[in-house]
Amino acid sequence: MSLQRSVMQRIEAWGEDPARKALLITGARQVGKTFAVREYADGRYETTLEINFVETPQAKAIFEGSLDANTLITNLTAFSQQPLTPGRTLVFLDEVQECPRARSAIKFLVDDGRFDYVESGSLLGVLYRDVPSLPVGYENVVRMFPLDLREFCVALGVQGETLEYLEDCYRSRTPVPQAIHQRLLRITRLYLACGGMPAAVERLVQTQDLAQVLGIQRDILELYRQDIARYASNKPHVKAIFDAVPSEIIGNNKRFTLRDLAPSARMERYASDFMWLVDAGVTLPCYNVRSPQVPLTLNEQHSLFKLYPCDVGLLGAMLEQTVQFELVQGDAGVNNGALLETLAAQQLVANGYDLRYFDKSRYGEVDFVVPNGVCALPVEIKSGDSYYRHKALDNILAVDEWGLGEALVFCPGNVEVKGAITYLPWYFLMFCKPRDEAPLLVSW
């Protein structure tokens, strides 16, 4: 089967730009980068030269000598053993982090202009120091994620018209008909179990067997651990952090606590190890803010943070074996809240938000805070039927100086507006996106 990915729109927009640079697709392993490039190239180019530097390490020799365009294209043509027609050839450099000089060569190849170039890599954020000269200004960067909830719905057969209708309900704050509401709640629970890794979604659609899905998820987790063992500079620290992510999210505090790793752990010794997992795309950081006010960037406290895995299905695979089945049955007990919060983090990042939360003993903790024009928008994720109880949310809405005119609570219930708080079903997270930037026109 062929999964429909929203990233294809950005790749196609790149291809239609007459002044296009090289396209660099980043993201965690197994999110579908290679497949997306192949799908885009199919039928658009006379020739696609695909070089995977992991599968074909000898291809690094193409970039070992001079980096002038004529020499490089001679080497590429010799390697391909077929004619490469100017204007009708795509050169796809996959796993480009394994050949740092290939990225340095991109600026010369783009200036030459004979071919189109796409690069992809899973660990570019942690290996960028190995590149002799980064091609600044010569790459359009697209970050790719696992399938989000909307893409998952499409894979499970939800029609585009239904999703458009649901988005209209989200915008107009109109309740969803009960039959559709219950169906989308079931799909959301299934997404909690399966997540968005393409191989896992394809296996679910083909077999409906969650045991096989779990096997794929555990293989991906093992691949991440192998990357840590191969590439991380402080392997014990990074592995300890990675393995501790589930227990930290499920814990009462939710915030990542260093003393859970080691009694003597200090942030200055572990900071780069946390960032290794973030730069590799394996985890998503969510920083505390001193106050829920825009600009949120200026209020971030990087010493206080939560750490989510990049995919909610992988979190379930790191827990007990029965979690997936319990989720589909609508009962995941204590894990349900943590999994829903991870789904929300994954979806908000895919929608274009940076993750932040608010937690102060005087007010309590609010799961997420996102920018919303001239003010901040508090967002709570509720897993059970007691979603009308949200003391922390009530506390911060009562602070006049923060000017919080609205708050969102995503819950198992239907659409409902009560004063400043709007209650929305979980699946409406797919429509919670930053506002489009208005044109800022100047004259002189």
Q: So where are the chain's domains? A: 7-143, 149-431
> Mean pLDDT throughout 190-197?
96
> Mean pLDDT throughout 179-205?
96
Rounded Cα distance between 184 and 170, Å, is 14
Model confidence at 142: pLDDT above 90? yes
Q: What is the pLDDT of residue 440?
A: 61
Q: What is the pLDDT of residue 337?
A: 87
Tokens describing residue 383: 């897993």
Which has the higher per-residue pLDDT, 248 or 36?
36
Tokens describing residue 1: 């089967």
Residues 6+ apart with CB under 8 A from 113: none
Q: What is the pLDDT of residue 261?
A: 60
Q: What is the pLDDT of residue 322?
A: 65
Domain 7-143, second-level architecture: 3-Layer(aba) Sandwich (3.40)
Query: Which element (helix H / strand E) includes 90?
Result: strand 89-94
Model confidence at 332: pLDDT above 60? no
Q: What is the pLDDT of residue 292?
A: 95
Tokens describing residue 415: 């659409």
Which of 258, 292, 286 is CA-nearest to residue 273?
A: 258
Whether the model pTM is above 0.85: yes
Residue 306's region, left for phi above 0, alpha for psi from -120 to 50, else beta, is beta
Rounded Cα distance between 277 and 50, Å, is 28
Model confidence at 345: pLDDT above 60? yes
Q: What is the pLDDT of residue 206?
A: 96
Q: What is the mean pLDDT of the chain?
A: 90
Model confidence at 101: pLDDT above 60? yes
Q: What is the pLDDT of residue 126?
A: 59
Q: What is the pLDDT of residue 340?
A: 95
* Per-residue pLDDT tens over the stretch 223-248: 999 999 988 888 998 999 999 999 88
pLDDT tier for residue 127 given thresholds of 50, 70 and 90:
low
Do 387 and 412 touch, CB atoms closer than 8 A? Answer: yes
Per residue in 334-360, is it b (16+ CB within 10 Å) or e — as a string?
Answer: ebbbbbbbbbbbbbbbbbebbbbbbbb
Model confidence at 399: pLDDT above 90? yes
Q: What is the pLDDT of residue 349?
A: 97
